[in-house]
Amino acid sequence: MTPKVETVYERAKRTGFISGADHAFARGPQKKAPPEKLKAQAAAAPKAKALAGPTLDELRNLVSQAVSKKFPPPKGKTGRLDQPSSGPWVKDLLEDHAIVERDGKLEAIPFEVNDGEVTLGEAFAVEQQYARV
């Protein structure tokens, strides 16, 4: 005769680790709420607010397009790898400034976005600093 194999649940219940009434397995299958109740709960739930404004990627693209229009690449520069520069590019984007690399130099350009239109301010030179950690 082979000994009876005790399941983990049976052992936990026998040793008092869980009580039969408190454990989800002991309660048996749960009743599903009727569809009318689910619809009423969904209707009473707070509605999510739609987010306004462009995403960060869209903002970066808008600023990049505005920078390219304001500072077009020099004639003859096609962006090929054998050419040193194909025009400005947005290296970093802050809350109200874009850090742009143009002709090997870094500049900060203030910007504003109104109704999807970007207005650029006057560029000023900046430098990147590295600190020892």
- Is 87 within the bounds of a domain? yes
Assess whether 25 and 66 both reside in one domain.
no
**What percentage of the chain's residues is helix, strand, coil (to nearest 5)?**
25, 20, 55
Amino acid occupying residue 66: A
CA dihedral 119, 122, 124, 128 (to 10 degrees): 0
Distance of alpha carbon 129 from the chain centroid? 27
Range of the domain at 110: 56-125
Assess whether 17 and 71 both reside in one domain.
no
pLDDT at position 100 is: 93
pLDDT at position 98 is: 93
Alpha carbons 127 and 104: distance in angstroms, whole number = 11
Could you list the pLDDT tens digit for every one of the 133 residues in the chain?
666 777 776 777 777 666 555 555 555 555 666 777 777 777 777 776 666 677 888 899 999 999 989 988 776 655 555 555 567 889 999 888 999 998 889 999 999 988 888 999 999 999 988 888 8
Assess whether 28 and 87 both reside in one domain.
no
**CA distances, 99 to each of 6, 15, 110, 128 (Å):** 67, 66, 9, 10
